[in-house]
Amino acid sequence: MSMVLLVGGCDKQSAPSALRQQSISAESYNMSVVKTVGNYSYIPFNVDGNPSDHAVKILGALSAFEKAHPEIEITFWQIEKQQRAYITSSYIFGIWVTHRPKK
């Protein structure tokens, strides 16, 4: 019996991210990479680490999203992250956002 192990990956540096740089000023977020369909949006983040390590950046991205779209109201958001396992490291892929038009 033989076993084949395929290891694949992607270049994290080429993945789109709403973070322009590591600082957290209003200009640090690139909202042009956000994908929106109807009342749902995805803010790509693509950073190493746990969400708790990047809380201010995550909240800043949500704030930048609201400023870029003053006509909508965020009703729910959820972080897409890599689950911890023995051979994986913590990674934040992005933020899923549910929103509706402001009344």
Collapse the DSSP code of 6 into the 3-class scheme (helix H, G, I; strand E, B; otherwise coil) and give the result: coil
Token pair of 12 as six digits? 């994290």
Q: How many CB atoms lie within 10 A of CB 60?
A: 19
Residue-wise pLDDT for 7-28, tens only, equals 344 444 567 777 766 555 656 7
b/e for 14-39, b at 16 or more Cβ within 10 A?
Answer: eeebbbeeeebeeebbbeebbeeeee
pLDDT-flagged residues of the chain (< 50): 1-12
Q: What is the pTM of this model?
A: 0.74
Q: Which of 68, 6, 3 is nearest to 33 (CA)?
A: 68
